[in-house]
């Protein structure tokens, strides 16, 4: 059975975006980016909330950006190769290949997807990921702590959801980012 992975790049106090909606402080440097690329190589399907999709769809055309870093070109290839499912009650159309829209987050359908998938599945951003965590669908959590405290904003984890975790791996980077890999118990 495939794993469902929830990943977040967040401030040390747990926000994926600050009170102004900015997350430029969360941009990975080449060392972190290359590490993320390697983590995501095994992903066959991305499950996206509409808001995260609107950020990530940049990667559909990122290879055409002049002067693009090799590490970004590599990620663009990884992203373009995977299937995407966008959850939205409002979106009429998508602007990437291998992408479909779902109108509801059906827990049983995602469970079946895990059972038949031949490669891992990820879920994000936090609103959609929180529903997956709350439903007990998430197997692994990848948390990248950015060396900043932003005080408030969009939390990486849902309120009122309790998930015991087992630490599988950790890694520190020159930029001060720390990666924590947990498995749900």
Binding site for ligand NAP (CB under 6 A): 9-10, 16-17, 21, 23, 26, 49-52, 55, 87-91, 103-105, 125-128, 131, 154
Residue nearest to ligand NAP (CB): 49
Nearer to ligand NAP, 107 or 117 (CB): 107
Nearer to ligand NAP, 153 or 182 (CB): 153
Using CA atoms, how far residue 113 sits from 8, 47, 88, 185, in Å, is 22, 11, 18, 21
Smallest separation, CB 102 to ligand NAP (Å):
7
Smallest separation, CB 175 to ligand NAP (Å):
14
Nearest 10 degrees: Cα torsion 184, 21, 74, 68 = -170
Smallest separation, CB 25 to ligand NAP (Å):
8
Sheet holding 4-11, edge to edge: 99-102, 83-87, 43-49, 120-124, 4-11, 140-146, 178-184, 165-172
Nearer to ligand NAP, 118 or 177 (CB): 177
Which residue stretches of the chain are H helix?
A: 30-40, 50-56, 70-81, 107-116, 126-134
Smallest separation, CB 27 to ligand NAP (Å):
7
Nearer to ligand NAP, 90 or 118 (CB): 90
């Amino acid at each position: 059975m495939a794993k469902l992975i929830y990943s977040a790049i967040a401030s040390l106090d747990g926000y994926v975006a600050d009170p102004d909606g900015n997350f430029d402080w969360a941009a990975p440097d080449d060392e972190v980016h290359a590490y993320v690329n390697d983590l995501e190589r095994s992903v066959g399907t991305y499950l996206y909330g509409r808001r995260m999709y609107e950020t990530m769809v940049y990667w559909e055309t990122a290879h055409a950006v002049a002067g693009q870093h090799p590490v970004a070109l590599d990620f663009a290839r990884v992203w373009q190769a995977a299937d995407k499912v966008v959850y939205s009650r409002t979106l009429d159309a998508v602007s990437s290949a291998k992408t479909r829209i779902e109108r509801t987050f059906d827990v049983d359908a995602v469970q079946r997807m895990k059972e038949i998938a031949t490669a891992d599945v990820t879920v994000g951003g936090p609103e959609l990921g929180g529903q997956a965590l709350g439903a007990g669908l998430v197997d692994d959590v990848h948390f990248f702590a950015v060396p900043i405290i932003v005080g408030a904003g969009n939390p990486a984890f849902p309120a009122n959801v309790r998930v015991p975790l087992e630490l599988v791996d950790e890694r520190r980077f020159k930029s001060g980012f720390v990666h924590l890999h947990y498995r749900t118990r």
